[in-house]
A and B are shown apart, each in its own frame.
Chain A
Amino acid sequence: MTESETPRSFNLAHAVIAVYIGLALAAVVLLGPSLAQPATALVALSARYASLLLTTLPLVVAASLWSAAVNLIPLRASSTSTLRCVLQPLPIDPRLSGQRPRHPAGLAASAAWHPLTLVAVAVAFGVNSGFTLFFVVFSAVVVSVAALTWRRLGGSAIVDGGSARADAADKPLSADTPPATRFSDMLSTELYHRLRLTVLGLLIVVAIHVATPPALVRFFTAHPAVSVLATVLLAFLLSMPAEVAPFAAALFFGTTSHGAVLAFVLVSAICPARALLPAWNATGAARASVIRSSLGFALAATALIVLLTLPISDFAAGGLW
């Protein structure tokens, strides 16, 4: 089988929506009985959800504008990784993934340390809270460890999931298209994908936040490793945009470990499911890269858990403040 063969049909949107519906059904079945007053809980959920959604809307629009604008900047293949990192568009649209840095450290750092991600973290957690600094320092550690591990596995020529799809399925935007049209088209597509993931992701997170029984919260508080694992899995499945994830993570601050909150933001920015699923359509070398990406993610997640559940994390958090 070669890369030129027709890729298998796999609809990312349907897969993500199926995941969301599955999570919602599981939440209703597992957590529904714990809600003593469903009507009150629904109103509280709705208010919080609307509040979160409206608060994050400017960042979603800003990220879409940024990504669409970056698409207009002609970047040659020889452009340095640094330049690509600076101009990283935080892409949702797979066609923009071609602009992403190919080096894994750059790939990871560009989303985790993107200006909009940092602004979102600062707004969600407060500039003076100490957690913003905690996020920057620990995300550096995690990204570095994950990148080193990745390279050890021979992942120096990473083709991320998005570009695999771009290579295999999507038609690139024509260079003949007027810039204004290209900008409008890209902005529309970015906003469409971002808004959809935000709308659904925030709903799931707020529902979990409202409906989680106190006993489960206490369990997570008592078992930081489990809470990190749970938030890694949740962030991976929800695939929320990087600029929205900090607001969702902030809902769990104080009820889970720092590592869990940080892991949610990092996984959402670095390696959500949406970055891997499209490449599943691809074949050949692109498919092999998916396996490497998945393995890299697993190792990165492991590194997250090991690093963030150690007592040093709390010590460092206190020290940073």
Chain B
Amino acid sequence: MNTELLKRRLWAAILLGYFAAILVLALSGGLLRFVEPRAVRAIVLSAGVMAMLGVARLIGPVAPSGSPQHGFVVFLLPLVFVLIGTRYSGPPASAFLGVDRSALAAVGLGSDSQGISPAALQLGRPHNADSHAGTVPREISSVAEDPSIIDMQTVRFDEELFFRYYSLIYEQRDLFEGRSVVLRGFVGREPSFAAQRFYVARRLLWCCTLDASLLPLLVESDRGAVPREGQWVEIEAVVDATQISSDSGTQTVPLLRATAVREVEAPEFEYVFPF
């Protein structure tokens, strides 16, 4: 077969392959894992243009001065990475595109974000109706470190990041679900709790200790591993969710399924700051 003809057909096959892949992603809903809903139409339209061009390259006349094309193997890269990307289980990957709105706010360029907006937030996606974080104010921490938890298998609630992650786990629970977390706090219980449940909490200091807010996280462990109230512990847990009932109705909250509970000394300064 003529080499030029082979190349032409190969390029046409790539264009049609891209069209087919995008069509499959769009029809299966997989496209929404990678892009924002408003972009889907434009992407499918682009794929349509590629398909038409592919057909034209297959059956239509070609200008004799067509420039040489080679190195087609690179066009396989996206297919490989899309396949790997389908194993991704976090929030829509489009959340990581564009500018981190908190970064915009931090540098004084303005932001249209509302409240918390670290790098991992699902930008432009409405919050779940059941997201709730008690009465804790929603101010954003302005610590210099703003890691994206997508890169973390284990999320550590460090002192500086405690309030940020605490807020995030309520606001964007699905971002944490299935991940391991490590945090320190003191233990508390409520009379309504099941025997294997307790909470680990820190207090948020705004201006003085009198108005410090409680930042509790519900934990479930083996009955034998439930520590006594007031004890400071470090827990390792996997984030799950559960429904709890209160005066305001039933709501879904994060539940930390403890894999390890260690007693630790109380820190010298027990409070965390919002910024």
Please give the residue numbers on chain A whose beta carbons come within 8 Å of chain B beta carbons, in ascending order.
13-14, 17, 36-37, 40-55, 57-58, 60-62, 65, 93-95, 123-126, 128-131, 134, 170-174, 177-178, 181-182, 184-185, 187-189, 191-192, 195-196, 199-200, 203, 210, 214, 247, 250, 253-255, 258, 314, 317-318, 321
A44–B84 Cα gap in the complex (Å)?
9
Which chain A residues lie closer than 8 Å to B64 at the CB level? 174, 177
- 7 more A-B contacts (CB under 8 A) besides A247-B98, A258-B107? A42-B84, A47-B33, A51-B97, A55-B39, A57-B43, A181-B63, A185-B66
Within 8 A of A (CB), among B51-103: 53, 56-57, 60-67, 69-71, 74-75, 77-78, 81-85, 87-88, 90, 92-94, 96-103
User: Assuming the A-B contacts A58-B46, A173-B65, A181-B62, are A51 and B94 also in contact, with contact meaning beta carbons closer than 8 angstroms in the complex?
Assistant: yes
Decide: B42 and A58 in contact? CB cutoff 8 A.
Answer: yes
Q: What A residues does B109 contact at CB under 8 A?
A: 129-131, 134, 317-318, 321
Q: Which of B49, B63, B67, B104 contacts A129 (CB 8 A)?
A: B104
15 examples of A-B residue contacts, CB within 8 angstroms: A37-B153, A46-B81, A47-B88, A47-B90, A53-B78, A123-B98, A131-B109, A173-B65, A181-B61, A184-B53, A185-B65, A214-B147, A247-B97, A254-B102, A317-B109
- State whether the Cβ of B150 lies closer than 8 Å to any Cβ in chain A: yes
Candidates B39, B77, B145; contact of A199 at CB < 8 Å = B77
Contact in complex: B67, A187 (CB < 8 Å) = no
Contact B85 A61 (CB under 8 A): no
Chain A residues within an 8 Å CB radius of B83: 46
B contact residues, total (Cβ < 8 Å): 68
| Residues of chain B within 8 A of A46, CB atoms compared | 81-85, 87-88
Residues of A within 8 A of B74 (CB): 17, 196, 199-200
Flag if B60 contacts A184 (CB, 8 Å).
Answer: yes
Which residues of A have CB within 8 Å of B43?
54-55, 57-58
Enumerate chain A residues within 8 angstroms of B15, measured Cβ to Cβ. Answer: 191
CA distance A37 to B152 in the complex (A): 8
Q: A13 contacts which of B70, B78, B81, B102 (Cβ < 8 Å)?
A: B70
Q: Which residues of B contact A174 (CB under 8 A)?
A: 63-65
> Contacting B75 at CB < 8 Å: which of A17, A60, A94, A199?
A199
Alpha-carbon distance between A58 and B48 when the two chains are bound, in angstroms: 10
Contact A253/B63 with A54-B31, A58-B42, A203-B81 known, Cβ cut-off 8 Å: no
Of B39, B50, B97, which one neighbours A191 at CB under 8 angstroms?
B50
| CB within 8 Å for A185 and B62 given contacts A42-B84, A46-B85, A199-B78 | yes
Q: Restricting to B138-188, which residues have a CB under 8 Å from any CB of A?
A: 145-147, 150-151, 153
The reply to whether the CB of B11 lies closer than 8 angstroms to some CB of chain A is yes
Q: Does B116 contact A (CB under 8 A)?
A: no
- Which one of B112, B146, B151 lies within 8 Å of A40 (CB-CB)? B151
A47 in contact with B85 (CB, 8 Å):
yes
Is the beta-carbon distance between B57 and A61 smaller than 8 angstroms? Answer: no
**B110–A189 touching, CB < 8 Å:** no
On chain A, the residues within 8 Å of B146 by CB distance are 254
Which residues of chain A come closer than 8 Å to B46, judged between CB atoms? 57-58, 60-62
The yes or no answer to B198 lying at the interface (CB within 8 A) is: no
- Contacting pair A65 B151 (CB below 8 A): no
Partner of A317 from the list B22, B67, B107 (CB cut-off 8 Å) is B107
Residues of B within 8 A of A94 (CB): 67
A96 to chain B, nearest CB (A): 10
CB of B126 closer than 8 Å to a CB of A:
no
Contact A50 B104 (CB under 8 A): no
* B45 interface contact, C-beta 8 A: yes
Output the nearest chain B residue to A191 by Cβ-Cβ distance: B53
Contact status B112-A128, CB under 8 Å: yes
Bound CA–CA A253/B146 (angstroms): 13
- Residues of chain B within 8 A (CB-CB) of A178 are 61
Given A65-B49, A184-B60, do A50 and B108 touch, yes or no (CB 8 Å)?
A: no
* A210 to B96 alpha-carbon distance, docked (Å): 11
In contact, A317 and B85 (Cβ under 8 angstroms): no
Quote the shortest CB–CB distance from B270 to chain A (angstroms). Answer: 28
- Report Cα–Cα, A90/B35, bound state, in Å: 25
Measured between beta carbons, the chain A residues less than 8 angstroms from B49 are 61, 65
Known contacts A41-B151, A46-B81, A131-B109; is A184 also within 8 Å of B56 by CB?
yes
Chain B residues within an 8 Å CB radius of A14: 71
